[in-house]
Amino acid sequence: MVKIRTKKKLGQHFLNNEEISKKIVSSHINRNNILEIGPGSGALTKYLINESNNFYVVEIDDDCVNLLKKDFKNLNIIKEDVLKLNFNNLFDDKFSIISNLPYNISSQVFFKILDNKDFISEFSFLIQKEVAQRICSTSGNKTYGILSVLLQTYFDLEYLFEVSPDEFNPPPKVNSAVIRGVRNTRNDIGIPFKLFKNIVKTGFQNRRKTLRNSLKSLNLPETFTSNSIFSKRAEQLDVEDFIWLSNEINKNEP
């Protein structure tokens, strides 16, 4: 394949280890309706194009698009910023996502996945190790945060394996890791997702404070905030605690 110059502003770090590419693809369960984000020079694409019944890639870089067109004659390429892409228009059924995800948009992509959680059956991402650990972290850990709670509410997460910087061109300054999320059976948590997300975000904004203080902006009645759960910090609550608390807040909001 022809090499192309990577662009720092797009967060491009092209994976150059064939065995790792194969391992990422083989760990991806869903083989129907796959969207690959930022295929770059096609490190994962080459192993996916003949594996999926319905396969699309979304790529914003002109050079990468031209290279992909040259190397993969029948590839369905969407030239678009994935953060602006309407996922509803892609497939007739649920789909999965796979990517060596640019580090600079990883959090935004995860929030987009959450907004489209009812359409997405699975994701497999090669991302910054620190972000992967944070997302897969459990309550009681300092790395546990907003995305940990929100993603674990709707997806069963697995921290699969780590990848060193020298497996990329150019090498990133951080280590990377592969995670997989499979959509669980949870659909209705009793309140709108927007409200749940707001409560989780507000709880973690001042993570050193107790929930009684961090959730003060919600103006909850004192008779309710006297509950012992409000003496805890956000990082001490697991997913089920947050769902319960959010439903109770919904009932007690003035």
**Domain at 95, CATH number:** 3.40.50.150
pTM: 0.92
- Closest alpha carbon to 162 in 134, 133, 137: 133
Same domain, 203 and 80: no
Same domain, 80 and 136: yes
Using an 8 Å Cβ cutoff, are 81 and 101 in contact?
no
Using an 8 Å Cβ cutoff, are 202 and 214 in contact?
yes
Question: By residue range, what is the domain housing residue 129?
Answer: 8-183
Same domain, 24 and 119: yes
Same domain, 217 and 99: no
Same domain, 168 and 232: no
Residue positions counted in the chain: 254
Residue 7: band (very low, low, confident or very high) from pLDDT cuts 50, 70, 90: very low
Which one of 183, 214, 237 terminates a domain? Answer: 183
pLDDT in tens, 34-50: 999 999 889 999 999 98
Residue 123's DSSP bridge partners are 97, 181
Examine residue 1 and state whether it is found in any structural domain, yes or no: no
Examine residue 123 and state whether it is found in any structural domain, yes or no: yes
Same domain, 131 and 244: no
Same domain, 177 and 198: no
pLDDT in tens, 218-240: 999 999 999 999 999 999 999 99
Give the chain's domain count: 2
For residue 65, give both structure tokens. Answer: 């698009």
